[in-house]
Amino acid sequence: MMALLSKSGQPDIVDGVVEYVTMSVLALHRDLVPYIAMQRSQGWQQMRILPASSRKVGVLGLGVLGEAACRKLAGFGFQVAGWSGSRCEIDGVACSAGPDEMAQFLARSEILVCLPPPAGEARVGLDAALFAKLPRGARLLSAGGRDHLDQDALHAALDDGQVSAAVLDVSSEAELPKGHALWSDPRVLITSHIAGMI
């Protein structure tokens, strides 16, 4: 797979992930996932378009990747918040930390972006309990690889309407087994471990 190169000519994983996150958040924000489903069914339904400034995006994991993604998304005008296990500050981003601030962070995340945490921090499980804390109809981007995604819980949340659309960057059958219902779910867009572009 072709690598995205930095100015020095070296592969730049951060830039690749930030591009992927930006593409996916814009796709979720502008309802690309349901429009793809409409195209496949040869149906048509106009969807309400909201400005980026009215959309609240939450970035779960504020390591180097999360911080860079927050800065890029804020540049589009999104209301960006971030959460990590330890306290950090990013200009223009509402930062939360620790388990006591997780519920409030999730409750305002209309689009939740899940990235790898900083080194040494445990990953947060993407499960039914987490999905229940999101605003109803939230959208999900899982681009961290090995995110501890509970596939069945996500499918249930999609069926219930708690989550309305998802973009998943999966790297192996362990993350999403062949034959799982998410593969053919029209509310889900799946890519094959391309977030880092290498």
pLDDT of residue 41: 83
Closest of 115, 103, 109, 114 to residue 137, by C-alpha = 109
Closest of 22, 115, 114 to residue 75, by C-alpha = 22
pLDDT of residue 48: 84
Burial class (CB in 10 A: 0-12, 13-18, 19+), 26: middle
Q: Give per-residue pLDDT as tens, 70-121.
A: 999 999 999 999 999 999 999 999 999 999 999 999 999 999 999 987 777 8
pLDDT of residue 145: 62
pLDDT of residue 77: 97
pLDDT of residue 10: 47
Mean pLDDT of 173-193: 83
d(CA 28, CA 9): 32
Q: Give per-residue pLDDT as tens, 2-60.
A: 445 455 544 578 899 999 999 999 999 999 888 888 888 888 888 888 999 999 999 99
Q: Strands, DSSP E only, in the chain?
A: 56-60, 79-84, 94-97, 111-114, 138-142, 163-169, 188-191
Residue 195 pLDDT level (bands cut at 50, 70, 90): confident
Mean pLDDT of 191-197: 78
User: 75-84, 146-155, 157-166, 182-191: lowest mean pLDDT where?
Assistant: 146-155
Whether the pTM exceeds 0.75: the reply is yes
d(CA 17, CA 31): 21
pLDDT of residue 146: 56
Higher per-residue confidence, 120 vs 139: 139
pLDDT of residue 178: 83
Of the chain, the end-to-end C-alpha distance in Å amounts to 6
CB atoms under 10 Å from CB of 58, counted, come to 25
pLDDT of residue 1: 39
Domains of the chain in sequence order: 13-39+52-191 (3.40.50.720)
